C-alpha cells in the first residue's frame, strides 16, 4: 500500500473568505503554542509535548469555529516542526507572512462528486481526476496567489506485478534532464529563460500579482513535464538506479536557473514513489567516477576536469569502445545500484 496525495483547486471565489477566517484562527492556535512553549522553556526549562499542548488548547475549538481534531493536528505539527531544529520558538504565523493552512482528518471532510464538506460548509472543486483509494487525511492550503486547494491523502493499492521489465540507470544533467542507460534522453524546457524578459518587465513595473502568476505558471509546467516523463520511465523499468548528485552547490553557481529548471529534487522524489506504485524498485546509485569510467572495461580513461566538460563522445583508451558521455555515466550508475559487477569488474 502506498499513500498518494490528490490536490484539487477550489472553485468558489467566496470560499476564500470562509477559509481565511479559519486559517486566521489556526494562526492564533499556532502562535499560542509558540508563546506557551517559550514560557515553559524559560520558567521550567522544559519543552512542552504535543499532549501537553492538546490539554492546554482543549475546549477552545467551538469559539474558534474549528474542529477539535484540527486543533490537535496544529499542536502536533508545531511540536513536529520544533523538535528537529531545537529552537526555543518557531516563526510566528500571520495572515501577511504565512500562507493559509487548515489540516483535518478524513472523518471531518466528506467528498461527494465535485464537492467537499468541512465543518458544515460546502466547497466546490475542479475534479480533475477521480480519487482512487481510501481517504486517510486532508488539508486546505493557500498558494501565493491567494487561491485555495484541498489536499486529500489516500491509501491505494499498488500493482501486484512489476509493470516494466528493464533495469535502468539514470544520469541527471542540465542539458538533458535525464539520460537512461538504454540511450533514451529526456530534454527539458528552458522555462526560466523563456519567461525571463516578461518577468523582468513585470518586476520593473512592480506588478506583484503578475510576477507571482508567472512563477506559479513556471512551477506548474515544470511539475507537469516531470510527471509525464517520470511516469513513462517508471512504466518501462522494474529497477531504477538514480545518480546521487546534489543540486545544492550547483545552484549557487552561474548555472542557478538551469539547475532549477532541471528540477532534480522533483525527479528523484517522483521516480521513487512512482516506482513503488508500479511494483518496481528505485534506489540511489553512486555518481563517483561515473563519467570517467568506461562502462565496458572499467578503466578510468574518460574526460575529466573542467577541460573535459565539453567532450560529449570519447573512445576508451584501453578497449577502444566508443562512449556517449551521459549514457556511459548512466550505465555506470546502474552498475553501482545493482551491486553486481558486469564482466568481472568490481562495483565501484
| Chain residues in the site for Zn ion (CB under 5 A) | 294, 296-297, 299, 316, 318-319
- Strand-pairing partners, residue 135, are 154
Angle at 273 between CA 270 and CA 278, to 5 degrees: 115
Q: Which residues fall within 8 angstroms of residue 306, CB to CB, at 6 or more apart?
A: none
All three cell numbers of 73, joined, read 493536528
Kindly state the smallest distance separating residue 297's Cβ from Zn ion, in Å.
3
- Give φ, ψ of 192 to 5 degrees: -65, -40
Stretch (H or E) spanning 334: helix 325-338
Only one residue has cell 499542548, namely 53
Kindly state the smallest distance separating residue 216's Cβ from Zn ion, in Å.
48
All three cell numbers of 289, joined, read 567516477
**Is the dihedral angle over the CA atoms 50, 51, 53, 57 positive or is it negative?**
positive
User: What is the per-residue DSSP string for 47-102?
Assistant: PPPHHHHHHHHTT-HHHHT--HHHHHHHHHHHHHHHHHHT-S--PPP-TTTS--EE
Give CA–CA dist 229/139, Å, rounded: 28
Kindly state the smallest distance separating residue 239's Cβ from Zn ion, in Å.
24
Only one residue has cell 486529500, namely 152
Residue number, 57 or 328, with CB nearest to Zn ion: 328
Residue number, 232 or 317, with CB nearest to Zn ion: 317
Residue number, 139 or 181, with CB nearest to Zn ion: 181
Kindly state the smallest distance separating residue 302's Cβ from Zn ion, in Å.
9
All three cell numbers of 164, joined, read 516494466
Give CA–CA dist 281/71, Å, rounded: 38
Kindly state the smallest distance separating residue 332's Cβ from Zn ion, in Å.
12
How many other β-carbons are positioned within 10 Å of the β-carbon of residue 119? Answer: 14
Kindly state the smallest distance separating residue 314's Cβ from Zn ion, in Å.
10
Kindly state the smallest distance separating residue 321's Cβ from Zn ion, in Å.
5
Residue number, 287 or 296, with CB nearest to Zn ion: 296
Kindly state the smallest distance separating residue 298's Cβ from Zn ion, in Å.
7
- By beta carbon distance, the residue nearest Zn ion is 316
Give CA–CA dist 121/116, Å, rounded: 8
Give CA–CA dist 243/169, Å, rounded: 8
Kindly state the smallest distance separating residue 344's Cβ from Zn ion, in Å.
13
All three cell numbers of 31, joined, read 502562535
Residue number, 196 or 319, with CB nearest to Zn ion: 319
Give CA–CA dist 76/312, Å, rounded: 51
Amino acid at each position: 500500500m502506498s499513500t498518494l496525495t490528490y490536490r484539487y483547486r477550489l472553485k468558489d471565489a467566496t470560499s476564500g473568505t470562509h477559509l481565511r477566517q479559519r486559517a486566521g484562527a489556526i494562526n492564533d492556535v499556532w502562535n499560542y503554542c509558540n508563546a506557551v512553549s517559550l514560557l515553559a522553556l524559560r520558567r521550567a526549562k522544559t519543552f512542552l509535548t504535543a499532549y501537553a499542548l492538546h490539554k492546554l488548547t482543549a475546549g477552545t475549538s467551538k469559539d474558534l469555529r474549528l474542529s477539535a481534531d484540527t486543533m490537535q493536528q496544529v499542536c502536533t505539527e508545531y511540536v513536529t516542526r520544533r523538535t528537529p531544529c531545537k529552537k526555543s520558538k518557531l516563526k510566528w504565523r500571520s495572515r501577511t507572512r504565512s500562507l493559509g493552512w487548515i489540516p483535518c482528518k478524513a472523518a471531518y471532510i466528506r467528498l461527494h462528486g465535485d464537492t467537499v464538506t468541512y465543518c458544515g460548509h460546502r466547497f466546490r472543486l475542479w475534479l480533475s481526476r477521480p480519487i482512487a483509494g481510501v481517504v486517510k487525511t486532508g488539508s486546505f492550503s493557500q498558494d501565493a496567489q491567494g487561491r485555495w486547494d484541498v489536499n486529500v491523502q489516500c491509501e491505494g493499492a499498488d500493482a501486484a506485478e512489476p509493470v516494466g521489465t528493464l533495469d535502468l540507470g539514470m544520469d541527471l544533467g542540465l542539458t538533458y534532464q535525464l539520460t537512461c542507460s538504454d540511450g533514451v534522453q529526456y530534454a527539458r524546457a528552458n522555462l526560466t529563460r523563456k519567461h525571463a524578459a516578461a518577468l523582468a518587465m513585470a518586476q520593473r513595473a512592480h506588478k506583484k500579482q503578475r510576477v507571482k502568476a508567472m512563477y506559479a505558471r513556471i512551477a506548474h509546467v515544470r511539475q507537469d513535464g516531470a510527471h509525464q516523463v517520470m511516469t513513462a520511465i517508471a512504466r518501462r523499468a522494474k529497477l531504477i538506479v538514480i545518480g546521487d548528485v546534489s543540486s545544492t552547490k550547483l545552484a549557487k553557481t552561474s548555472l542557478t536557473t538551469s539547475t532549477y529548471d532541471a528540477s532534480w529534487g522533483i525527479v528523484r522524489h517522483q521516480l521513487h514513489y512512482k516506482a513503488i506504485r508500479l511494483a518496481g524498485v528505485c534506489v540511489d546509485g553512486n555518481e563517483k567516477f561515473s563519467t570517467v569510467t568506461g562502462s565496458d572495461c572499467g578503466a578510468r580513461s574518460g574526460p575529466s576536469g573542467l577541460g573535459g566538460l565539453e567532450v560529449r563522445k570519447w573512445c576508451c583508451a584501453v578497449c577502444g569502445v566508443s562512449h556517449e558521455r551521459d549514457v556511459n555515466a548512466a550505465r555506470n550508475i546502474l552498475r553501482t545500484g545493482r551491486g553486481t559487477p558486469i564482466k568481472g569488474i568490481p562495483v565501484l
